[in-house]
Amino acid sequence: AASRLSVPAGADFVATSGGPLPCHRVIVVDDDPVVRRQMTLLLSSLGVRQVVALEGAEIALAEIARGGGEHDLLITDLNMPGTDGIEFLRRLAENGYRGCLVLASGVEDMILQTAADLARAKGLSLRGTLKKPATGDALLQLLKASCKKSMIQVPSSDGIKPSPADILEGIHRDEFDLHFQPKVDAATLRVVGVEALARWRHNGKLVSPDAFISTAEQHNLIGELSQLLLTKALLGGAHLSKAGFPLFIAVNLSANWLTDIQLPEFVFATLQATGFPADRLILEITETGVMADITTALDVLTRLRLKGFKLSIDDFGVGYSSMEQLQRLPFNELKLDRSFVHGASEKPVSRAILASSIEMARKLNLSTVAEGVEKQADLDLLRGLGCDLVQGWLVAKAMPLEELLEWLQTRGSL
């Protein structure tokens, strides 16, 4: 059921890699003996010291359990009899597998990429995918790649669910803060703005924004919390301007806050108090939330635009009402959701969605922002499609204001 090929100690070489590989022991799982043999020969020729070739997922799970996680990489097929590749991924996640992973299959691209997304969603560390029959060059790139999960920007929170009293206490103790993520021109990478992202450390632990915003919305605390966060964002923007960085500031508005008919007056008064220019404030509204009360939202958002603020439709394409929102509301900007951006260079469907969205935005005179840009190939794709701005870990993570200032200063003035 298993074959092992060991390379002599002196054979740790890669003729075309430009240096030694980080992988010395690799497990290959495939029900086809010809594929197992081919993969074993390819890996050994690329400098892998030991290859363990196994014919099925159950045998592989037992091998991993016996080895105690000592191997460097697992390469698995998807379409296998018995326990198939998707079941294998589930079992690996359930068993707490922490090694690196490559999915190798001859299935159609859409299925392969869906399986890759599933692996990341389960917390598995995926290096990438490999189309069969594998080539030495393709395999070499995956051997040299680092082992990564999707780099989300929301901090871990250990599943903390705050109470309304916790949020009120956090507001009164001034525990809520903001991190700022740069937004850059896609073509030049010049920094043009930042997005303000809420952070909360309560009793020494980070609380997920999804958790505390959800609780605040459910218990009518979102207005008080949003006023605090917006004020801090504008103070941060004014501080950046004084330091020589007159950037746009993007702030997320909860759909629940859009029911406050006095919202435009509060924003305008806060701008006057902080000295931040109205034309450099971008208010991001999640398109799935605007429909909660469309009449009031139309009133509030139109008045915000009349006062000179820019409006961005956030998470575009995720909900069902995207086109209707574009018809009814006076947006300036369309923000492409990270679910379409991340890995788009490898996903034909995501590429098509991005291309059509960017083209539509251009015809509607809307600027476009792509969030979740983590790979150079995705940035190159967005540039080719004509996207205006990008943000994501490829450029910079979200960071506190003082850290942002240091980061900006290392890049030079605008």
The answer to whether the CB of 107 falls within 8 A of the CB of 78 is: yes
**Residue 77, pLDDT score:** 94
Q: Are 395 and 184 a contacting pair, CB within 8 Å? A: yes
Q: Is the pLDDT of residue 15 over 90?
A: no
- Specify whether the backbone of 212 is left (phi greater than 0), alpha (psi in -120 to 50) or beta: alpha
Looking at residue 203, what is its pLDDT?
85
DSSP line for 297-363: HHHHHHHHHHTT-EEEEEEETSSS-HHHHHHHS--SEEEE-HHHHTTGGG-HHHHHHHHHHHHHHHH
pLDDT attached to residue 413: 45
Burial class (CB in 10 A: 0-12, 13-18, 19+), 292: middle
Coil vs helix vs strand at 201: strand
Nearest Cα neighbor of 290 from 262, 265, 327 is 327
Residue 154 pLDDT: 41
Distances (CA, A) of 157 to 36, 88, 201, 252, 367: 42, 28, 9, 20, 34
Distances (CA, A) of 373 to 46, 185, 204, 332, 390: 31, 13, 30, 21, 7
Q: Which residue has the higher pLDDT, 378 or 25?
A: 378
The confidence band for 88, taking pLDDT boundaries of 50, 70 and 90, is very high
Q: For 225, phi and psi rounded to 5 degrees?
A: -65, -40
Task: Read off the pLDDT of residues 356-399 as tens digits, 9 standing for 90 and up.
Answer: 999 999 999 999 999 999 999 999 999 999 999 999 999 999 99
Output the average pLDDT for the chain: 85
> Distance (Å, rounded) from C-alpha 129 to C-alpha 117?
11
Task: For residue 191, name the pLDDT band (cuts at 50, 70, 90).
Answer: very high
Give the residue-averaged pLDDT of 94-116.
87
Confidence band of 6 (pLDDT split at 50, 70, 90): very low
pLDDT at 348 over 90: no
